[in-house]
Amino acid sequence: MVDSSKTSCHKTKLGKPMYRISKRFEISGAHKLNLSYESKCQEIHGHNWIITVFCKSKTLNAEGMVVDFSHVKKTIQGKLDHKYLNEVLDFNPTAENIAKWICDQIPCCYKVSVQESDGNVAEYEVDE
Ligand SMILES: [Zn+2]
């Protein structure tokens, strides 16, 4: 039997416990950006945004979860999927602004990443 008191991963040495979950899903939609410079992004165009929502909590809810994965997806997809984002959001729908808006919608969310296209990712994170 392993004596856990001698291993470096003994739970009392790991600090305060924290549960973390992440949920990844896709949103199809269209937007155009309001920019102060010439850009093709000012014209309406579409994306398949790949969203990753990160949540954490020191305790679990009555169901034993930080937050229900399907609740995260349903909340965001219900508002943004197959929509013209400029019509459903009241801000310039850049990937950065979308990331912050998503973070604000989900309880216990501390980070959101929004991949707009291959190689283009914006992240929003709440500092502790
Ligand atoms: Zn775009």
CATH among 3.40.50.720, 2.40.50.140, 3.40.50.300, 3.30.479.10 for 23-125 = 3.30.479.10
Q: How many CB atoms lie within 10 A of CB 2?
A: 6
Percentage, residues of the chain above pLDDT 70: 88
Ligand 1 centre and the CA of 102: distance in Å? 17
| Sequence spans of domains, the chain | 23-125
Ligand 1 centre and the CA of 41: distance in Å? 6
Give me the sheet containing 19-31, strands edge to edge. 83-84, 19-31, 45-57, 109-117, 120-125
Per-residue pLDDT tens over the stretch 10-39: 655 667 889 999 999 999 999 999 999 999
Q: What is the pTM of this model?
A: 0.87
Ligand 1 centre and the CA of 71: distance in Å? 26
Ligand 1 centre and the CA of 78: distance in Å? 20
Predicted pLDDT of residue 16: 82
Ligand 1 centre and the CA of 117: distance in Å? 8
Percentage, residues of the chain above pLDDT 90: 84
Ligand 1 centre and the CA of 24: distance in Å? 19
Ligand 1 centre and the CA of 46: distance in Å? 6
Q: Which stretches does DSSP call E strand in the chain?
A: 19-31, 45-57, 83-84, 109-117, 120-125
55 pLDDT more than 60: yes
**Which is higher by pLDDT, 5 or 32?**
32
94 pLDDT more than 80: yes
Predicted pLDDT of residue 9: 60
